[in-house]
């Protein structure tokens, strides 16, 4: 999860991401922001987001308000730009395929650098600066 105002990144580390992890992330979001009555979460059209288990969990977390992005529009989802940065800096041409624990550590270290927020990250993903997405965030 990427906080659009602070650049703070929260994540769950797991080999497989399924509906249980998506639900756990929603619960983490509500836990992280207990004082907010409404929390907008950008959602792509991954089928798991509309799985009955996930939609039922969302009903029990009324603070979460999904914002559905158009199909095949990763440029509208700032977290996709974070994944691109991760792939470029950590995963591209890595030689750690046989060293899963070390690769996992490098990925976590990369993500952990944003655990307290980052203006640099907000600029990188387009949520700060003069771009349209940044302007929309400021006007909200």
pLDDT of 16: 80
Confidence of residue 140 (pLDDT cuts 50, 70, 90): low
10 Å Cβ neighbour count for 28? Answer: 14
Average pLDDT over residues 120-133: 88
What are the C-alpha distances in Å from 11 to residues 17, 27, 42, 80? Answer: 11, 12, 15, 14
- CA 104 from centroid of its chain's CA atoms: 17
Identify the structural domains of the chain with CATH numbers, from first to last: 19-139 (3.30.420)
Per residue in 67-111, pLDDT (tens digit) is 999 888 888 889 999 999 999 988 877 777 778 888 889 999 999
The answer to whether the CB of 43 falls within 8 A of the CB of 18 is: no
- Shortest CA distance to 66 belongs to which of 34, 35, 119, 22? 22
Alpha-carbon gap, residue 81 to 74, rounded angstroms:
8
Most confident of 51-60, 97-106, 124-133: 51-60
Q: In this prediction, what percent of the chain has a pLDDT beyond 70?
A: 99
For residue 64, list its beta bridge partners.
39
Are the CB atoms for 133 and 139 separated by under 8 Å? no
Both ends of the chain: CA-CA distance in Å?
A: 19
Q: Pull the structure tokens for residue 85.
A: 């940065």
């Amino acid at each position: 999860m990427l906080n659009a105002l602070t650049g703070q990144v929260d994540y769950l580390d797991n080999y497989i991401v399924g509906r249980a992890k998506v639900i756990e992330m929603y619960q983490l979001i509500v836990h992280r922001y207990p004082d907010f009555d409404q929390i907008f979460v950008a959602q792509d059209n991954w089928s798991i987001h509309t799985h009955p288990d996930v939609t039922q969990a969302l009903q029990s977390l009324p603070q979460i308000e999904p914002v559905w992005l158009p199909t095949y529009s990763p440029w509208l989802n700032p977290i996709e730009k974070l994944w691109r940065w991760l792939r470029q800096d950590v995963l591209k041409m890595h030689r750690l395929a046989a060293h899963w624990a070390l690769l996992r550590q490098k990925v976590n270290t990369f993500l952990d650098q944003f655990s307290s927020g980052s203006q640099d990250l907000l600029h990188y993903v387009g949520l700060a600066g003069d771009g349209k997405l940044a302007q929309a965030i400021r006007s909200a």
